């Protein structure tokens, strides 16, 4: 079983507001039993302070959403992430970036440039998908996801399983085809219906036993819970997601 992490964006109402208690949020997820966290910014906190809190709580930084580095930003990004103990830097693209085949190729080139920059710091570059990477096929028969994977071979995929399914693509098929380049899975659940809030993992339509069973165990390092919205206290969904994954033998936590 793989360790379970959480994308802290899930708890953004607690993390993002001015003066928020990021160390307190980290303590909360550690108390639930999560082994790792995926950052999406430190909200003004010093990386050394955050690393100290992580170490005290026995948490690891599984990865970070820190944008796609450029030659002007890579040094600062790497400095922060290496203090946190992170080697995986993740970015992404909006739907307008990927509307055309040429746009997808340009996006892939940006990823390749970022991967080369990060390589000098011992870090890797990856991208997180939404549904628009799977919505259409171009004249050559490829989706935007295919283009990014094939045109940026030095880059890894953090596969968001729910958004893949929302894009009318079976995440199992994606894992079978590209599993050797998918070290991180985003685990979210819901009814796959427009304007329907996400649900605690295990309460929706996603078949996680099959999805997790299809991953390459030699490649996947973390399963990362992420919920964008929930009709109730988000902390409740975070706890229930952890319990579903661990009690069903799909992931391992600290409890």
Task: Quickly count: other Cβ atoms within 10 Å of residue 103's Cβ.
Answer: 15
Q: In sequence order, which residues have a C-beta less than 8 Å from that of residue 229 and are 6 or more positions away?
A: 197, 198
pTM, to two decimals: 0.96
CB 4 within 8 A of CB 190: no
> At 195, is the pLDDT very low, low, confident or very high (cuts 50, 70, 90)?
confident
Q: Residues 10-27: what's their mean pLDDT?
A: 83
**CA–CA separation, 99 vs 116, rounded Å?**
25
Look at 67-71, 127-131, 170-174, 232-236 and tell me which has the smallest mean pLDDT: 232-236
Contact 254, 33 (CB under 8 A): yes
Which parts of the chain fold into alpha helices (H)? 12-15, 22-32, 47-57, 74-84, 101-119, 144-151, 161-166, 171-178, 208-214, 234-247
Q: 214, 218, 226: which is closest to 250 by C-alpha? A: 214
Output the pLDDT for position 19.
67
User: Does domain 2-252 match CATH 3.20.20.150?
Assistant: yes
Which one-letter DSSP state was computed for residue 81?
H
| Domain ranges across the chain | 2-252
Residues above pLDDT 90, as percent of the chain:
93
Q: Which residues contact 245 (CB under 8 A, 6 or more apart)?
A: 4, 187, 201, 202, 208, 223, 225, 251, 253
pLDDT in the model for residue 13: 80
> Bridge partners of 158?
128, 184
Burial of 50: CB neighbours in 10 Å, binned 0-12, 13-18, 19+: buried
Residue pLDDT, tens place only, 52-96: 999 999 999 999 999 999 999 999 999 999 999 999 999 999 999
């Amino acid at each position: 079983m793989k360790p379970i992490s959480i994308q802290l964006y899930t708890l953004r109402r607690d993390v993002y507001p001015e003066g928020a208690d990021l160390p307190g949020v980290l303590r909360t997820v550690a108390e639930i039993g999560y082994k790792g966290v995926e950052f999406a910014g430190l909200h003004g906190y010093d990386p050394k302070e955050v690393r100290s809190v992580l170490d005290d709580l026995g948490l690891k930084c599984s990865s970070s959403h820190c944008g796609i580095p450029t030659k002007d930003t890579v040094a600062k990004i790497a400095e922060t992430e290496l203090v946190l103990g992170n080697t995986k830097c993740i970015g992404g693209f909006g739907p307008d970036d990927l509307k055309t085949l040429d746009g997808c190729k340009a996006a892939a080139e940006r990823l390749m440039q970022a991967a080369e920059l990060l390589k000098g710091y011992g870090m890797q570059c990856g991208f997180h998908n939404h549904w628009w990477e799977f919505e259409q096929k171009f004249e050559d028969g490829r989706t935007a996801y295919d283009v990014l994977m094939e045109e940026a071979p030095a880059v890894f995929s953090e596969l968001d399983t729910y958004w893949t399914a929302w894009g009318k693509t079976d995440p199992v098929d994606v894992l079978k085809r590209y599993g050797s380049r998918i070290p991180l899975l985003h685990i979210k659940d819901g009814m796959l219906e427009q304007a329907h809030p996400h649900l605690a993992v295990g309460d929706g339509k996603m078949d996680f036993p099959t999805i997790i069973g299809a991953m390459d165990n030699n490649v996947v390092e973390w399963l990362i819970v992420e919920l964008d919205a929930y009709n109730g206290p988000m902390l409740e969904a975070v706890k229930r997601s952890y319990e579903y994954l661990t009690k069903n033998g799909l992931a391992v936590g600290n409890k």
